[in-house]
Structure 1
Amino acid sequence: MTIQINTDKTITGEKRSSDFFTSQINEALQRFESHITRIEVHLKDENGDKDGFNNIYCLLEARLEGRQPIAITTQADTTDLAVSDAISKIKSALKTIIGKMKKH
């Protein structure tokens, strides 16, 4: 499972943050690893340099083997919250999709 993290120009894609998010994603989606070929994370700050609430936007896309990719979006006050919310949402979606695949 390959994990790619993309950020806009207002969010710094520091190595430490990238490694932290990669390990979070690996840990949370480990049981689905055989079905996932790639995870893409897109982070952007909706307000740019200005302050605001729920201004961090996160799109998390999971590419499944032999199926269409699934994507979810979240917005939060911080990058950490946006990514963790996105991980829990994608995990729930994967449980449903892979559960249906196993029944057929």
Structure 2
Amino acid sequence: MQIQVNASNGIENKDALERWADGEIKGTLSRFAEEVTRVEVHLSDETTGKSGGGDKRCTMEARLAHHQPVAVTHDAPSQDEAFRGALAKLKRMVEHTLDRIEGRRDRDSIRKDVDIAPE
């Protein structure tokens, strides 16, 4: 699983952030290592230089093997909260998407083994 972290100008310590984010994402999504090929993280400070809560935004996109990518966004007062909130949402979204795909494969058709009696 490849991890790419993109940060806007208002985000500090990008190198340390990339190492930390890589470990957090791989740990949280380890169960889906076969299905998730890449995760892109976009961190931004929506109100650079201004005061106010909820100004950090984290958007994560997971690329799933042989499926459409899924993306989530989380806004929070701190970078850490935005990242953790987005990661929790991404985990739920990946679980839901893969469960839905697996469920469709395993589901029996209602049209299977139906005897139609001639009139």
Task: State the partner residue of 1:36.
Answer: 36
Counterpart code for 2:71 = A
Displacement of 1:15: 1.5
Q: Is the 8 A contact 2:57 2:76 kept in 1?
A: yes
Number of matched residues?
Answer: 104
The 1-side partners of 2:51 and 2:26 are apart by 31
Superposed CA RMSD in Å reads 1.0
Give the structure 1 partner of residue 110 of structure 2: none
Percent identity, aligned pairs only, is 33
Q: Which runs of 5+ in 2 are unaligned?
A: 106-119
Aligned structure 1 segments of 4 or more residues deviating by more than 3 angstroms:
none
Whether the 8 Å contact between 2:7 and 2:14 is mirrored in structure 1 is no
Distance in 1 of aligned mates of 2:21 and 2:52: 23
CA offsets, 1:66-94, max 9 Å, x none?
11111000000111110100010010111
Alpha-carbon distance in structure 1 between the residues aligned to 2:53 and 2:43? 15
1:88 match: secondary structure: helix
Question: TM-score, normalization: structure 1?
Answer: 0.94
Structure showing greater radius of gyration is 2
| TM-score, normalising length: structure 2 | 0.83
User: Taking CA–CA contacts closer than 8 Å with sequence separation of 6 or more, which of the two structures ends up with the larger relative contact order?
Assistant: 1
1:55–1:76 contact (8 Å) kept in structure 2: yes
Mark the runs of 5 or more structure 1 residues left unpaired by the alignment.
none
